[in-house]
Structures are given as C-alpha cells and as structure tokens.
Structure 1
C-alpha cells in the first residue's frame, strides 16, 4: 500500500542548498566504547548526504551518542561516546575529508558553547577544502538536553553555523535543541530517511491485513506508549531484545540481569492486555549470556521459555535464538 507524505512537510528535494551550509541532524547512535557496532544507521543516511553534496551543499553533520548525561545532570565527555569513529567510517565510504572540531568542556557541565575556533573550518567547508564537518556528540553540549534557556542558546549557536537545517534523525524523536529548537532559527526540511520512515509509519497507522509487527530495542521506557498503541492495531506482535526480556519478566515473574524493576512494572499492562487478546507470539528460545558483550564462545547458551518459572533469576538474555524458527 503506497502512502503519500503530508504536503505540509518541507522536503529536502525542494530545498535550495546550492552553495549553502546545510546543518544535518542524523541518528548515528551506533558507537559503543569507541567502536562502531553496526554501520546500518550510518549507511541509511548516505543518500541524504550525497544529495546535499551533489546539489552544491556543504554539510555540517551532528548526532547524539549514548547517554553521557547522568541522572544528576553531570555530563561525561570522553572517547567512548565520541563521533570520530563515525567520521572515519564516512571518510572511507565517501572518499572525502571530514573535520571533527573540538571544544573545551567545563568540568561536569559539558561543552557550554560553540566557540570561534570553528570559524576556519566553516570557511574551509565553504571553499570545498574539506568535504564536511562532523560536530561533537550533541549530548556533550550543556544546551542539548537542558531544561533551562540553554536549549535555545545552543540552538541559536548551531543556526549561526548554517543556512539550512535538514532533519534525517527519525529515531531521535525527543524535542532537544538539535532536533526541535533549531527549527525556530533556520529553514528546515526532512531528509530522505526521515521521509521514508514517515511513510512506513503511515502504513502502520493504516495497515493492510493480516498485520504482524516486530518490535525490538534497547530501551523499554521510551517505547511504552508507542508499543501499547501498536498492540491495539496489530493482528499479531513479535517482541525482541530488551523489550521481550522485560515482557518475559513481567509475565513469568522472573529476574533478568539489566532489566529495571520499574520497566517490568510498566510491562505488566501489556501482559494484562495480552491475557485478553492473545496477540503476542511468544517465541520459545532465547540466548542467555554471562555478559552483554555478545555471543562469546563458552559464555552463552540457548534457554527455553519453559524454564521461566516464578522467582527464577537469569543472567543477560541477548535476544531470540535461531532455534525458535526451526
């Protein structure tokens, strides 16, 4: 079923980017401990980057990585959440020079501002001496997630670098400075990946039948609302990753390492809904591991859901095992 984009949505292909600096927000949150785990999200945005450059635009790219801000508001700036591995990957992929500026953090408060040290790089970008600029992790900046006026201050600093803003970060839905507040200060457009994901979302909202949805992810608390709404629309639902683990904890009253108690309590609503409607396809086997680092030989095994009995405790559950499909 083909869906049309809302005509009110400004599209990249209609933007004048020739000889313009284009501030591009992407979701390249694929770095863990300084290493790219899977470049899929990066590759999905290359079409947008290529379009900007082919039409004479000069991209300044930005993304968030991880959660460097802790619950007390302290921001940790270190290599484990740096963008350099992504920039290096794009340099190899696109055969161009990408410059990564650095700004001095103010202790636990993160980076307070984009200072004038970036001006030379912007000049070089306009003159095509470099192919792109990749800004530091947006969550290193005090203003990105701040609940004070710092958000608008940071958004204005970002806007001061560019002529046009393009959002290609569908997965970064939080209204932060680099995704929402920036649109107050620059002409703003949806990139190609954003357009594709909006079309996919439209198909979810108006699905063909039978409709089976697969939902997975690393965080349950951010997906509670959408998951409950998807449940109402689907004929059958398959869960994976942390979401499946949380559901299993709630249904069978077991403990799995890394699963928060408050998430299990929230998943109880989903369990109760499914007792009535029976939509969740419970796949029978999972990978149990002694570590979250993956399937390390000798440190993981296949577990049957039949072993999940009240009060049982399990180490990390990585995901659904291939034996579920045999």
Structure 2
C-alpha cells in the first residue's frame, strides 16, 4: 500500500517508539463487530438512503434521507481534487471567514450551490460576544442574512464555532440567542447551526455541558460537533493511544439529547491521523455508518492542516480511498428554490 512521504515519516517514528503494537492491541479491529452499514439500520426513514440517491433537502438544507458527506479542504480551497477522484460533488463544503469576508463567503456559497454542494459557512464576529448579544452586531448580521437569502439554494451558517476557552461561554450562548431569530427571520433558506467541540460537552467542565451552553427559547436547525480520532497525536510529550468509539462515546448521547431538543445534528469536523488509518483503514467508512445509525445528518471531514495538531489531511492512499468510498455511499444533495 503506497503512502505519502509525510505518512511514512510519521509511521516510522511511531514504530520506533513501539506505539503501533499498542494500537494494534487496543484498536477495535477491521471490520468492527456490529458496525451497521448505511441503509441497513433501524434508525428510521432518514437512515434508509441508498448510495448516490438524490436526497431532497428542506428549505433550510436539512437532508430528508440520510447523512450528507463533505469536507473542509485546504484553506477554503476548491475541493475539485476530492470530487474528481470520486466522480461526484461533495454533499457539504465547509468554509471559514472573518467578519470582513462576507462577500467572499457569499460568492463561494453561490459556486458551491452551482456545483451541487451544500455550503456550511462559519463566521467570526465583528465584535465580542457580549456586545453581539446586546445588539451591537445586528447591522452586520442583517447584512449577512440578506445576502445569504439571495442565494439560489440552502446554506448553513455558524457564528464563532468551537467557542470553548475563547471567553465567557454564557455571553456566547446569549449571542447565539440573539442572532438565531434575526438571521432565520430574514433568510428562509438559512439553516442556523451551532458548532461545539463535542469533547467539552461530553467529558469537560460543567460550564461547557450542553445543558449550560445550548441556546434557550430559540430555534436552532442543527448542532454540529468537531470530534476526531487523535490516536498517535502527541501532546505534552504523551502520545494518544486510547482508541475512541465515537458511536458509543459521542453519537449515542448526542442523538438522545438531540431527539429531546428536536434538533438535527452532525459532524462539522472529523478526521483520523495517518498512523491510526494504517491500523484501521476503514475507520472513515465505519464512523460514517455509525453516524447514520444514530440519526446524524452530516459527516464533514477536515482535510486541512489549518490550526491542526494531527495529520488529518487526506494525503495517504488509505485515507483517500476510504473517503472516496464513503462519499460514493452517501446521498447527493438536491434542492429547488
């Protein structure tokens, strides 16, 4: 199996440290027993889409027949190489912008819609959370909403994703509570999303629990979570060896919470290191199947080195083939506006 020079170097370092043997001993194996296949579970109608089926989206972009597969690619780089390999467009394209890049975000979203991708846009804000919650950012938010409303299809938007550690989380919550009705009221094609790390909500401090941070008394269309397989990542001199079970540790509790709050959910970011992918080559396919099983509607791979501590990009043949197979197994986004 051919892998990139970067992957070879990383794998050699892991082998030298004796880590790979630990991974082989602790990983769930290939295939994982009991892992559901897309379209074969009892998770309800949304899980029953077959490979490549055209999936109608609601006016605000929520799939009606399964989970869309997409990616962040490079630094807002057009994902044509990923699509050429699969012979079809991504279901979702996730991109990131400063508050001064509204025009660029709208142009990119328009092009994504033209090519059959659902745009999932993340904006940083023109002022701090408390000021946004007090209404200081309303003119900017109205401009964003009105420009997105002119697009010929649905678009998802998030404001300041992964907020944990960036300030008073209650100010962030109140900011979301102000922007959600404003944006949704001006743009009937916008799905308002809230994107969190996931780990902080499941296993972090109480102040970041979903009970504490989730916006109150407003409609949120989708909860996004950024959850990775970071086996092989070294932090503070310690290499991560514990293999995560995203289905049991994240998807099951998130699905139960989402059902109770009547909100769709999905992965806004996910990824696997080169090292871990060589141990379990089908992790991407199996994780997508788990997400479908638990009713998630979005699987967005982080194919980028931006702000990264892990070798997430799809640079090895193992990962490229796994992503291609997963994309081809997923429904295609379809809309009329």
Q: Which band: TM-score by shorter chain? A: 0.3 to 0.5
* Greater length-normalized contact order (CA 8 Å, ≥ 6 residues apart): 2
Larger-gyration structure (1/2): 1
Which TM-score applies when normalising by structure 1? Answer: 0.33
